Chains A and B, each alone.
Chain A
Amino acid sequence: MRLTDDEKAMLDGAEGPAVAAAMDLLVRYGEALDCERLCDVRNVAGTMTQPSPVKAKLVAEGGWDRAFAVINLDSDEDLEIPQMRVATCQLQQGFSGDAAGIVPYPEQFVRLQDDAEAFYGRKGVTILATCTPYQVGNLPVRGEHVAWMESSAVVYANSVLGARTNCEGTASTGAASLTGKIPCWGNHLTQNRYGTHLVDVRVPVRDFFDWGLLGYFVGELVEEARPVVVGDLAVPELEDLKHFGAAAASSGGVELYHIPGVTPEAPTVQAAFGPRPVPEAVPYGPRERRRTYEALNSQGQHTEVDFVLLGCPHASIEQVRRAAKALDGRRLNSGTQMWIMVPRALKAVADRSGYTEVIERAGARLFTDSCPAMSRAAPPGTKVFATDSAKQAHYLPAILGIEAWFGTLEDCVEAAVTGRWAGELRCD
C-alpha cells in the first residue's frame, strides 16, 4: 500500500500505540483487498458495546481497553484506548434495562452493556444504539466517504444518501474510529458505483410490504451486484427504501442500488449505468412477486402465532404511529406477544406523542437498542412468529429455530389480536 506521510507517522507510533495498532490493521486489511491507498473518513458507525461471552471474558481480564484492543483493533497489545479521532457511533446492541423482566435476556449482559456505554461514552462514542443511525440524525452527505457496518445501514448510506462506504466490520470500523482512515476500495471508487442489472417492475409497488418483497427478489437475483430498478413504482417513503435495501442485503449482498429519478446518483437510467450500456431488463411481474412471497413464507407451517415482531430495521416514528393506529382500541390475544423495535431517541418521541400509551394499552410493547436476531431472544416458548420485515423473516428462523410468517402490518396486527396467521397475497 502507498501510505501518506501522516499515515506512515501513525503506523510508526507518532500518535501512540493504539493508533499504531489501528493503522497496522488497516494496512493488513488493505493488502488483503489488494488496495493501493486509504481514504479519509469523518463518520464511523461500528459496534463496541454489544455483550458476548468472549467480550465478557476479555473485560474480566483487562477491562474495556483490552476488549477494544482485541475485538475492535485485532491487537494483542496492552493498549490504552484514546478518544475517538472522528465522529463514531454505536449501532444496535443487546437489550437494555427497559426489556428487563419481559425479554428473556441475561441480566449480566444488560449490566455489562451499561458499563460499556459509560466507558465508550467517555471516549467520544455516541450511543445511538440503532441499526438505523440515519433515522436519528446521522446523515452523511452525498459523495462523503464513511466507514459503516450493518448491511441495512450500508445499503441505505450508499444508495439513498449517496455516501460511499463498503460493508465494513467490527475491526475495520474500530481502526477507522481512531485514525479517520479506511481502505479506498470497492464502493469508494466511482467506477464501482454504476449499475450492473436492470429490473423492470411490472406490478404496482406502492407500500412498505411490496417494497420489501421487491427488495428480497432483487437481492436473490443480483447477489452482490448493483441493481437499477425502474417501472411501476410509487415515490417511496424513507421506510420503503429502508425495507427494500434491508431485504436486498439479506437475500443477496446488495450494498448499492439505484432507482432512477429517486436516488441521488441516478437522475436517469443511463446515468445509473454510467459509461456502460444499459443491459436487458429482468421483469418483476405477478409471477415473480408471488414466488418471492411464497419463498419468504416457506418457513411457516402452523398458523398459531406466539410472537409478532415489527421494526426491523428499527421502526421510524411514522411506523410506530401506524402501529398505534392499527392497535387502537384492540387487545392482543392472551398467548401472543408483540414487540416493536425502535431507536431509543424515537421511543422518546413516541412516548411524548402518546403512541406508546396506545400500543401498551393493547398489550404490545416498544423496545429499544436491539432485536430478537441480535440478542437471540424471543418470548419464552415461541414456536411461530410473524413479522412485516423480510429481513427478520429471513434470519430469525435459523437463529432461533422457529417458524416465520411474513405479511403486511395489518396481517401482523390481526395475528397478534387473534393469535392466528391469516395473511395472504392480495391483488396479483
Chain B
Amino acid sequence: MRLILHGRTVVPGVAEGEALVSHQTISGWGGIDPATGTIIERRHELCGQSFAGKILVFPGAKGSSGWSGFFQATRLMGTAPLGMLYTVTTTKVALGAVVTRVPTVTDLDRDPVKVINTGDWVRIDADHGIVEVVPAGAE
C-alpha cells in the first residue's frame, strides 16, 4: 500500500502531513488569500479550501509574476503549506517554493498529482528527494 517516489530537491528539509491535491495549476496573485491560506479563484476545483498545514500537491503555477510574493506572504502570516510537491517547473513555482521555505520535491518518477489523493499521509524527505505516501485508510 505504501508508495515511494523519488525526485529532485527543490527546497531541502523534512515534513509530513495530510495531502491536499489540486489537479489544476494554482494562481498566486488573484488566486490565493495569504491571510487564510485559502484558494479563492472562483472556478478552481479547490476554491474555498485552505492549504495551511497540508502537503500541497499540484501540477504547477500559473498567472501573474506575483506568485512567489503571495506564497512568501503565507509564510509570514503563518498559513503556509507544510511542504510542496509539484509536476512542472517554472520560475514562478521554483522561486515560490524557495521563499515559502518548506520542503519541496519535483521531477518525481511518477506524477504526484496522479498517484496521491487528498487525505493521504505524505512524508517528504527533501534532503534525499524521497517521498513516502500512505493512502488514506491504509494500515
Chain A residues with CB under 8 Å of chain B are 25, 28-29, 31-34, 47, 52, 54, 70-71, 74, 149-151, 154, 166-172, 183, 185-186, 223-224, 250, 252-253, 373, 395, 397-399
B49 to chain A, nearest CB (A): 16
Rounded to whole angstroms, the CA-CA distance of A332 and B115 in the bound complex is 56
Question: Known contacts A32-B10, A34-B8, A399-B30: does B41 contact A167 (CB below 8 Å)?
Answer: no
Q: How far apart are the CA atoms of A117 and B62 in the complex, in Å? A: 30
Q: Which of B63, B67, B73, B98 contacts A32 (CB 8 A)?
A: B98
Instruction: State whether B65 touches A149 (Cβ < 8 A).
Output: yes
B92 engages A54 (CB within 8 Å): no
Determine the chain A residues whose CB is within 8 A of the CB of B9 once the complex forms.
Answer: 31
Instruction: Flag if B91 contacts A33 (CB, 8 Å).
Output: yes
Residues in chain B within 8 A of chain A (CB atoms): 8-11, 30-31, 34, 40-42, 62-69, 72-73, 76-77, 88-92, 94-99, 101, 104, 107
Would you call B99 and A151 a contact (CB within 8 A)?
A: no
Query: Within the complex, what minimum Cβ distance (angstroms) separates A130 from chain B?
Result: 15
Residue of B nearest to A149 (CB): B65
Instruction: Determine the distance from Cα of A186 to Cα of B95 in the docked complex, in whole angstroms.
Output: 14
**B95 to A171, Cβ gap below 8 A?**
yes
Pair B69/A33 contact, Cβ less than 8 Å: no
Q: Which of A54, A168, A395 contacts B76 (CB under 8 A)?
A: A54
User: With A169-B91, A171-B72 in contact, is A398–B41 under 8 Å at CB?
Assistant: yes
Are B65 and A32 within 8 A (Cβ)?
A: no
Query: How many pairs, one residue from A and one from B, have CB atoms within 8 Å of each other in the complex?
Result: 94
Most B-side CB within 10 Å, residue of A47, A169, A224: A169
Inter-chain CA distance A97–B136, complex, in Å, is: 55
Residue from the list A70, A71, A167 in contact with B65, Cβ < 8 A: A167
Q: Within 8 Å CB of A33, what residues of B?
A: 89, 91, 94
CA distance A398 to B86 in the complex (A): 25
- Measured CA separation A269–B93 after assembly (Å): 32
Give bound CA distance, A373 to B31, whole Å. Answer: 12
Complex contact A170–B72 (CB within 8 A): yes
Tell me if A54 and B94 are in contact (CB < 8 A).
Answer: no
In contact, B65 and A34 (Cβ under 8 angstroms): no
Chain B residues, Cβ within 8 Å of A172: 68, 91, 95
In Å, the complex CA distance between A399 and B42 comes to 10
> Nearest Cβ distance between residue A53 and chain B, in whole angstroms?
8
**Residues in chain B near residue A170, CB distance under 8 A:** 66, 68-69, 72
- A71: shortest Cβ distance to chain B, in Å? 7
6 more A-B contacts (CB under 8 A) besides A149-B65, A170-B69? Answer: A31-B9, A74-B99, A171-B72, A171-B98, A253-B62, A373-B30
In the complex, chain A residues whose CB is within 8 Å of the CB of B34: 54
Kindly identify which residue among B72, B88, B94 contacts A29, using a CB–CB cutoff of 8 Å: B94
Nearest-CB residue, chain B, relative to A224: B90
Q: Is the CB of A186 within 8 A of B91?
A: yes
CA distance A1 to B69 in the complex (A): 24
Residues of chain A within 8 A of B91, CB atoms compared: 33, 166-169, 172, 183, 185-186
| A–B complex contacts, Cβ < 8 Å, 17 sampled | A32-B95, A32-B98, A32-B104, A47-B69, A54-B34, A74-B98, A149-B65, A150-B65, A166-B91, A169-B67, A171-B72, A171-B95, A186-B90, A250-B63, A253-B63, A398-B31, A398-B42
B94: A residues at CB distance < 8 A:
29, 32-33
The answer to whether A54 and B73 touch (CB under 8 A), given A34-B89, A172-B91, A398-B42, is yes
Assembly CA distance A167 to B66 (angstroms):
10
Please name the 10 residue pairs, one residue from A and one from B, whose CB atoms are nearest each other, closest first. A169-B68, A149-B65, A32-B94, A170-B69, A166-B91, A32-B10, A74-B99, A169-B95, A33-B94, A167-B65
Asked whether A171 lies within 8 Å of B69 as measured between CB atoms, the reply is: yes
Give, as a whole number of angstroms, the nearest-CB distance from B73 to chain A: 6
CA distance A54 to B79 in the complex (A): 13
Min CB distance, B40 to chain A, in Å? 7
Contact A253 B68 (CB under 8 A): no
Write out the residue numbers on chain B whose beta carbons fall within 8 Å of the beta carbon of A171.
68-69, 72, 95, 98-99
CA–CA, A202 and B31, complex, Å: 34
Complex Cα spacing A29 to B99, Å: 9
In this complex, the member of B10, B62, B98 whose beta carbon has the largest number of chain A beta carbons within 10 angstroms is B98
Distance A33 CA – B106 CA, assembled complex (angstroms) = 10
Contact of A70 among B30, B67, B76, B104 (CB under 8 A): B76
Contacts of B73 in A (CB 8 A): 52, 54
Residues of A within 8 A of B67 (CB): 169
With both beta carbons as reference points, the residue of chain B lying nearest to A53 in the complex is identified as B35
Q: Specify which of A25, A32, A168, A398 is in contact with B30 (CB 8 Å cutoff).
A: A398
Which residue of chain A has the shortest Cβ distance to B60 in the bound complex?
Answer: A224
Which of A32, A54, A151 lies in contact with B64, CB distance below 8 A?
A151
The answer to whether A29 and B98 have CB atoms under 8 Å apart is yes
A154 neighbours in B (Cβ, 8 Å): 65
Cβ-defined partner of B98 (8 Å) among A25, A149, A398: A25
Kindly list chain A residues whose C-beta atoms are within 8 Å of the C-beta of B99: 74, 169, 171
B107: A residues at CB distance < 8 A:
34
Nearest Cβ in chain B — how far from A43, in angstroms? 16
Most B Cβ at <10 Å: residue of A25, A52, A54, A185: A54
**A399 vs B101: C-alpha distance when bound (angstroms):** 27
